[in-house]
Structure formats: structure tokens, C-alpha cells
A and B are shown apart, each in its own frame.
Chain A
Amino acid sequence: MALPLKSDPRWKGLVTGDKKATFTTVPLSMLTSRLNRVCARDPSKVPTAVDELYAFCSEYQAVVGPELNAYFG
């Protein structure tokens, strides 16, 4: 399954932590958690956080794809 478009609001929910995510892939968990903290400190960073997470998930889709599919449904 292809990733949702970067403009999909669910990416914003993921980086802000508005929709709680739990992953088993260590770097995806740690990166998402870091971005949650970055966005909590400074909400203006949400767009760049989405960029960073989307770029990571695009590059490592072979690894994180199943978990993202479960998250995005």
C-alpha cells in the first residue's frame, strides 16, 4: 500500500501526537516521539516535522510500511 499523500491531515496528527501512535520499529517509534516533543515545544514546526517523518517513511517504506498501513488503516 502506498503512503498517504503528505498533505493528508493524518500525518499532522501523527507528528503532533494528537492521534496516539505505538510502533514496534525502534527508529520509527523514536523519531515519532521526538517529533511529538518538537511540535509540543513549537507548533510552528509541524510542517517541517511532517516533511521529516514523510521523508523517513518514504525512504524506509519497506521496513515501516506494515506498521504505517496498520496506523493509517
Chain B
Amino acid sequence: MSFLERQLEDPVRFARLKRWFYIGLAVVVLVEIVLPRLFHADHAHFPFENFPAWGALYGFVSCVAIIVVSKLIGKWWLMRPEDHYGDPDEDRDD
């Protein structure tokens, strides 16, 4: 069993992995809020970029928005069964 397999298949180790992921998220948010304030050397192009943890916030919102909106458009309109244009493995002459 490889290292990766052990981490993913053992429930205890997988739970630990998950915990590290959440800790990582918290660290990233903290870093994004604190470091620019400590060094405030960069200039932002837009005022909204100065919102605390703007990257994390916008990333999360974008991700959810993309999934929800795309799935809605897909369900209502775009997604079709695979043989929508006819079965590709059959002759289309009728």
C-alpha cells in the first residue's frame, strides 16, 4: 500500500487529513488578513480588494456561484442525453 493509499483509505488518517485541510484554510485567511496590513506595501487597483480576506471570500463565492448557476443552466437548457444528435455509431441515413 502506497503512502497516498494509506492516507485516503484509513478512516482515522483521512479524518486527520481533513483536519489539516481546515487548519490550512484558517491559516490562509489569517495570512491574507494580517500580512498585507503588516507590510502594506502593495497598492490595490480597486477598493474591494482591500476587504479583509478578499481572495478567500471571492474564491469561495465564485466557486459556489459557478457550480450552482452552471448546473441550473445545464438542467433547464443545455444538458441532453448522449444520443441527442443520433447514435454516433449508427448510420445516420434514413
- The judgment on whether A and B are partners is no
Residues of chain A at the chain B interface (Cβ within 8 Å): none
